Each structure stands twice: as C-alpha cells, then as structure tokens.
Structure 1
C-alpha cells in the first residue's frame, strides 16, 4: 500500500522590492525633463498666440495701438459688429460649402486613383509622379494659372467648350456669383487630389494580400471586397486624410485671393478672406480676431468630434 508524501510547504511570495525614494524622485524628474520642452513649445507657440487673439477680440485694437500701446476694452462690441454683418453669415456658409465640396471631391477621386495605381502596370510610377505636380506647385501659382484657364473670353477651357459646341459665349467661371464658388471648389479639388492619392495609396500597400485571397475564396466580388476588406482596413488612414484635409481647407486664403479675391459680389468670401479683409484692409484687428476665434472654434469642434468618433483607437491596449 503506497503512502502519499506531503508536498513541502511553499515559501510565501515575497512582495516586490520597492525602489528607494531617491530613485523614484529621480525617475519622476527625468520624466518631467522630457515633457517640459514640449510643454514650453506648446505654451510659447500655441498657448500665447491663442490667449492674445482671444483678448484682442474684446479690445479696440487699431494700428495706433502699435505706437501708443493702448487697446481699450470694448466688451462684446467687436462680436456684435461681426455677427450682425451679412458678410460674415455669407462667408460662414461659403466656407461650409467650399470645405465640404473640396473634401468630397479630393477624397473620392484620390481614393479612386489610389485603388487604380495599386495594380501593377507599366509606367505606373511615372504617371503617379506626373499627378503629384499640382501638389508640388505653390498654391498661388496654381491659382494664377487657373485664373487664366477659366477666363471667360480668352481662357483655354471656354475655347475648348466652344470648339466642341457645348457653349456659345463661354461660361463665366470667375465673373458670375452663381458659378465662382463652384470654380474655386474645382480648382481646390485639383490641387488636393495628389495628397489624398499618395496617403491612401500608402495605406492600401499595408493591407495584407491574404485578406483579399480569403475574400476571393469566399466568393466575394470586387465591390464586396472593397466594402468589407479595403475600407475597414483603410479607416485609420482615411481619418487622417480627412482631418488634415479639413484643417487645410477650412482656413484657406491664398487660393481664394489669387483666384477671385473674394468676388464677384463677395460670392467667394470665406472666413479666411474675411479675417484678412477686416485685419489688413479695414485695419480693424479686433473684429479680425473675432473671425479668427470662430475659425479656431470650428476647428476645435471638429477635433472633438474626430476624437469621440475614434476613441476606440486610443483605448489602452490598442
């Protein structure tokens, strides 16, 4: 008859050794030494200008202020003057249309080109390089060239349309209040397509080929594969493209100034051009700061919505 030998008692688990207090203080100090430069940079180049522009919107800030140093507090006078001006309301609406139309066109065409170039074929690299040219050319130069192209009398586009018999007198691309904003949107789409294409093309290259092979074995067609495999895997890249596109489009200034100068009849005035007009043409820096604060608020709201929509991506363990 066998007997069971009792197992020796386990040694009690020792609590983890704690670092000396001096070592913990040094680690905390080192952490702060790495963080402080970033905090200082943010405070100097973002915090201070933000505080200044907020304060300026409540002051009577004129060119004389730069000589006298006096900027009397005028309460909400600047805000009332801006919000009661029909030009601000129109500019807000134009900005929304311009931003939405530009983002939709740039993203749609950029994604289509990215999917097209993800297939291997001859001269693909050369064609991609040629398509990058609009993105590499300075925006003012692009706007001036397009201003010549869209000229109603001598523009290349209207000459082509007349040759094809599609129009008789030419389309008033930049001289008609009902068409000028559309023309500005089309030009901005042309400028932004290469950026969207390059970023989305890079995201497509990171999708594992095995997923497409598995979808093909399951009998999924091209559209189903694109909707169920490509778009979900491309979601983080799409988010980055849309956020960067929104931030660069909502505050655009140089394109509008060089293309239409806000006209005709203020039909292409945006928040960016109104800020420029109030601050540097009317020399009312207080009211210009009000419109600048509205732009900052719009960007902040968009950033909050972006973070809430993608908070799962920032969860621990992701």
Structure 2
C-alpha cells in the first residue's frame, strides 16, 4: 500500500531544480533618502567640530609635541607621560581646588538665584515681561564685554564697588590684584552672567506645572513655603537636573572671564584647569602642547562622568 505524497511547500526562492534564487535588495525609499539627507549635515558637523577635535586633543596628550613636530607631525608616542607630568606638577593641586570651588559656588548661587527669580516672575505682575527681558541682558552680552565691565567695576583705584564700600566706611579691597580676593572676583562675575540662563530654563519649567495643584494646596491650607517644597521643587526636579548639568559643563570650561579679569593670577590664585591648559599650551615661550591637552582632557572626562551620572539618575526615575 502506497503512502500519499506529503504536500511539502515549495521554496519560492528556489529555482526549478532547487537552486536558490538571488534575493533582491530593496532600494531605499524616498523617505529614507530624505531622512539621510537631513542627518548628513548634523553628522558632518559632529565629526568636524566634535569628534575630530577630540581625537586630535587625545593624540596631543599621548605624544611629545614640540613646535617643530606640531608642524611636521612626527611627534613620538609617549603614552601617559603627559598625564603623569600634569599630576606631578605643583600647580595641579591649587588648580584642581580652584576649579572645584569656582564650579561649586557658581552652580549653587546661579541655581538658587535663578530659581528665586523664576518663582518671583511666575506671579505675572504688570512689569513681569519687561523685567525678565532686562535680566537677560548679562546672558546676551559678549563675554569680553561682561568681563571688561567687571574689571572696571572691581578696579582697586577707580572701581565703583570700592567707591560704594568707601561711602559706607569700608576700606577698599584689591579685588583683582590680591591673592585672597581674585578668585572671589571672577566667581562674582560668572554668577552674574549665569543667573539669566537658570532663570529662563526654570521659568519655562514652572510654566508646565498645573495651576490647579496650587489651588488645591491653598484650599487645604498650605502656605507659600509649603506649596514650594511640596509642589514646585519636586516637579521642577527634571528641569533642575538638566539646568545643573548644563551649568556644570559650561562652568568647567569658563576661560574668557578669568583670563580677561585676572589671567589666572596673581600668583596663580585664580587659576583653574581651563586657564592652566591655555597657559601650558600657549602662555609660555616653550609651549607644552601635550600637558596642556592632558589638562583639557581631564575637563572632558569630568563633564562626561557627570553626564553619565545624570543619564543614570534619569533612567532610574523613569523606571520608578
């Protein structure tokens, strides 16, 4: 007795004798081509202005570059020798301390003052829009103008700040020429420049908080402080996180203000990693390109670490 033949489905990709037919590749659609066309300028911009400079900076920090080898491109590979030189330099510890103090104090005061102003303007009184626009002026001015203005204001002999102190019976302060006050002077200037950014971002975050929450809290008897700590501050946490992260990245690389006002002095009392990197690479008769690039890479690593911490925290908050 013969068994019925099984109805085996035939492979459509096979030929008449079972040979596999070549699979035709799909051509990209017009939408895909349009997407790549839009991505190409962004990708080119990132490669030219981010990836390549970062690669060159890493290469500088791993080789012994002189002026001649920098031009000819035949610098010998030295590994981590430049980083070891930076860590063993006596200026490393003061520059690190100044960078931490400068960044921390600026971030705290910029955020607190920006948040206070954002809450103040959130009430939408009559001149709210006009005053907000005026507060943006420090942020819109070129840094060289802002730094030069603060240099004039804090001048020991003719500055308006010392004139005001003298009027109330306080002795003049050598803001820019005293090792005790030079770091304070550049911190004050940077706080003044950074507050408007915090104001704008935090004010936009306040606009997204439903007004009904405040009304319900007021009906429950919550006062202004209670509403702030129970509603405003918690709901502003995501906006606050990105504000602090961007402020951190900006403050770490601040160079213009410090260099114009004090040039990192006197006696390196206001030197940070940003100014020290410039001094190593361009501020000496015999430039140290490798150590200067190594200091710059330390700033990049610090910003990258805090960026990864921010991403991890945001991921945990999204999961919870």
Quick check: TM above 0.5? Answer: yes
**Among 44, 51, 54, the residue aligned to 1:50:** 54
Structure 1 CA distance for aligned equivalents of residues 303 and 189 of structure 2: 23
Structure 2 CA distance for aligned equivalents of residues 24 and 231 of structure 1: 52
Q: Is structure 2 residue 85 aligned with structure 1 residue 81?
A: yes
Q: Is structure 2 residue 224 aligned with structure 1 residue 222?
A: yes
Structure 2 CA distance for aligned equivalents of residues 194 and 246 of structure 1: 15
In the alignment, what sits opposite 2:265? Answer: 263
How many aligned residue pairs are there?
293
Runs of 4+ in 1 over 6 A off after TM superposition: 21-25
Q: CA deviation at 1:92?
A: 1.2
Structure 1 CA distance for aligned equivalents of residues 39 and 199 of structure 2: 37
Structure 1 CA distance for aligned equivalents of residues 242 and 188 of structure 2: 22
In the alignment, what sits opposite 2:125? Answer: 121
Structure 2 CA distance for aligned equivalents of residues 66 and 223 of structure 1: 60
Render the CA deviation track for 1:14-68: whole Å, top value 9, x for unaligned: xxxxxxx8798858x9399479635554444323322222121121112212432
Q: Is structure 2 residue 187 aligned with structure 1 residue 203?
A: no
TM-score (norm 1): 0.85
In the alignment, what sits opposite 1:99? Answer: 103
Q: Report SS of the residue matched to 1:182.
A: helix
Q: CA deviation at 1:73?
A: 1.5
In the alignment, what sits opposite 1:245? Answer: 247
Range moving further from structure 2, 100-109 or 177-186: 177-186
In structure 2, the CA distance between the partners of 1:142 and 1:269, relative to structure 1 (3 Å rule), is same
In the alignment, what sits opposite 2:283? Answer: 281
Q: Is structure 2 residue 313 aligned with structure 1 residue 309?
A: yes
In structure 2, the CA distance between the partners of 1:52 and 1:136, relative to structure 1 (3 Å rule), is same
Q: Is structure 2 residue 294 aligned with structure 1 residue 294?
A: no
In the alignment, what sits opposite 2:135? Answer: 131
Structure 1 CA distance for aligned equivalents of residues 24 and 241 of structure 2: 44
In structure 2, the CA distance between the partners of 1:220 and 1:54, relative to structure 1 (3 Å rule), is same
Q: Report SS of the residue matched to 2:163.
A: helix
Give unpaired runs (5+ residues) of structure 1. 1-20
Structure 1 CA distance for aligned equivalents of residues 185 and 45 of structure 2: 40
TM-score (norm 2): 0.85
Structure 1 CA distance for aligned equivalents of residues 26 and 270 of structure 2: 59
In the alignment, what sits opposite 2:188? Answer: 186
Q: Is structure 2 residue 178 aligned with structure 1 residue 176?
A: yes
User: What's the C-alpha RMSD, in Å, of the aligned pairs?
Assistant: 2.3
Q: Is structure 2 residue 71 aligned with structure 1 residue 67?
A: yes
Q: Report SS of the residue matched to 1:86.
A: coil
Structure 1 CA distance for aligned equivalents of residues 251 and 36 of structure 2: 36
**Among 237, 258, 264, the residue aligned to 1:235:** 237
Give unpaired runs (5+ residues) of structure 2. 1-22
Structure 2 CA distance for aligned equivalents of residues 92 and 199 of structure 1: 29
Q: CA deviation at 1:240?
A: 1.6
